[in-house]
Amino acid sequence: MGTLALLGVAWVCLTPTPPRQPNFPGVDKWVHGVSYFLLALWFVQLRPQSRWQVIAALSAYGLLIEVLQGLGEVRHFEWADWAADSLGALLVLPVSRMVGSQFLLHFERWMKQG
């Protein structure tokens, strides 16, 4: 499931015609931050001892996506998008230690069984 989420983020970020978003100031940055927060939450649950490595890997992934956007003719590189990605991933640290934060891990195990 986590791999599908990574591929989904790549598709949404690299497609020339991305899905429509609500129209209010800063919505793009919120979407980036929330997306990477959810990705980090997922992968940190799978590798709880590797929280910092997961965050670093997702930050690098966000940078790679931005570079790929910059290479195309339709989308463009934005440092602010990468910062929102990285901040979203970083904000998972306090949440990952909360009670009930293992929901996605249990869901992943359930999906593998059936």
CA distances to 45, 100, 113 from 79, in Å: 28, 33, 40
Give per-residue pLDDT as tens, 74-112: 888 999 999 999 999 999 988 877 755 667 667 777 888
CA separation for the pair 58, 67 (Å, rounded): 14
Give per-residue pLDDT as tens, 5-64: 999 999 999 988 877 877 888 888 999 999 999 999 889 888 888 999 999 999 999 999
Q: What is the pTM of this model?
A: 0.83
